[in-house]
């Protein structure tokens, strides 16, 4: 795992967001304030950063291909819902969304029926009487410590049909390949950490963890999934390596 530090996101300086803490993964208060500020500076979908949009559309196209034949689908941690908007615009039916709080849902919520929107934490925010065929999580794992991520996947397993599938998709790092660009970033990060310890460099907000593909795999297996397939998406405008892994309950 590699810590992710961010100074600004979607043009918002993170040290202006309530609950800013360079040492702890942000909680609900941070995200609520962040999204409040986000919607003050972004009026509609057209205001989104083009590189970020390219990254999300790349993921959305891939997810769309995995949903063929799937009836009841849930997106966990949908954020502002850019992937889900793409899926709806492409004709997705029986798609549902879940988020921990309602702040990010300002644009996406009106596009769904009220029964298809689940707000709160798992498992409380879900009616367990009907299971899902497919659950996907895009860029959500980073918010969790490793053991919490395994427990979270285990809870997700309980929401799936026996033949259901869970897809995790997220940018990853892959230092074992010794790619020059990654190695350079890794060394730069180590230097910045030292400068930050000396209080001459501001690392920004610690937002969570970037994981290696082996960690994603290990978490899936530890949570009781059989890994069906895994791979990488083609490079997009933001990330060279977006990893995906799909599992089914054992």
Q: Which of 53, 63, 73, 82 binds ligand SAM (CB under 6 A)?
A: 82
* Minimal distance, residue 220 CB to ligand SAM, in Å: 17
Q: Which of 121, 192, 212, 241 binds ligand SAM (CB under 6 A)?
A: 121
* Minimal distance, residue 207 CB to ligand SAM, in Å: 8
Nearer to ligand SAM, 122 or 185 (CB): 122
Query: 70 φ, ψ to 5°?
Result: -90, 135
Q: Is 126 in the site for ligand SAM (CB under 6 A)?
A: no
Q: Is 100 in the site for ligand SAM (CB under 6 A)?
A: yes
Long-range pairs, 130-133, Cβ under 8 A, ≥24: 130/72, 131/72, 131/159, 131/160, 131/161, 131/164, 132/72, 132/73, 132/74, 132/96, 132/159, 132/160, 132/161, 132/164, 133/70, 133/71, 133/72, 133/73, 133/160, 133/161, 133/163, 133/164, 133/165
Q: 56: which DSSP letter?
A: H
**Interface with ligand SAM by CB under 6 A: which range of 71-79, 88-96, 158-166, 180-188?**
71-79
Encoded one letter per residue, x for contact with ligand SAM by CB under 6 A and - for no contact, window 141-160 reads --x-----------------
Nearest to 37 by CA among 6, 16, 56: 16
**Interface with ligand SAM by CB under 6 A: which range of 17-25, 133-141, 181-189, 237-245?**
133-141
């Amino acid at each position: 795992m590699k810590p992710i530090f961010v100074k600004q996101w979607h043009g918002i300086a993170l040290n202006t967001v309530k609950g800013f803490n360079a040492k702890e993964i942000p909680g609900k208060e941070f995200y609520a304030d962040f999204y409040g500020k986000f919607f003050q500076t972004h009026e509609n979908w057209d205001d989104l950063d083009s590189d970020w949009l390219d990254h999300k559309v790349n993921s959305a196209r891939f997810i769309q291909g995995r949903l063929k034949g799937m009836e009841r689908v849930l997106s966990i941690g949908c954020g502002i819902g850019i992937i889900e908007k793409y899926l709806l615009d492409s004709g997705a039916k029986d798609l549902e969304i879940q988020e921990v709080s309602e702040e990010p849902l300002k644009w996406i919520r009106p596009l769904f029926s009220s029964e298809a929107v689940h707000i709160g934490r798992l498992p409380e925010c879900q009616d367990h009487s009907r299971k899902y065929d497919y659950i996907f999580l895009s860029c959500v794992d980073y918010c969790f410590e490793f053991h919490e991520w395994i427990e979270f996947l285990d809870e997700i397993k309980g929401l799936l049909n026996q033949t259901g599938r869970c897809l995790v998709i997220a940018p990853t790092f892959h230092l074992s390949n010794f790619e020059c660009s990654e190695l350079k970033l890794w060394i730069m990060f180590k230097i910045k950490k030292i400068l930050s310890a000396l209080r001459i460099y501001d690392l920004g907000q610690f937002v969570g963890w970037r994981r290696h593909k082996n960690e994603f795999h290990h978490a899936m297996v530890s949570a009781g999934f059989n890994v069906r397939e895994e791979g990488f998406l083609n490079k997009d405008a933001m990330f060279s390596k977006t990893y995906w892994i799909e599992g089914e309950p054992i």
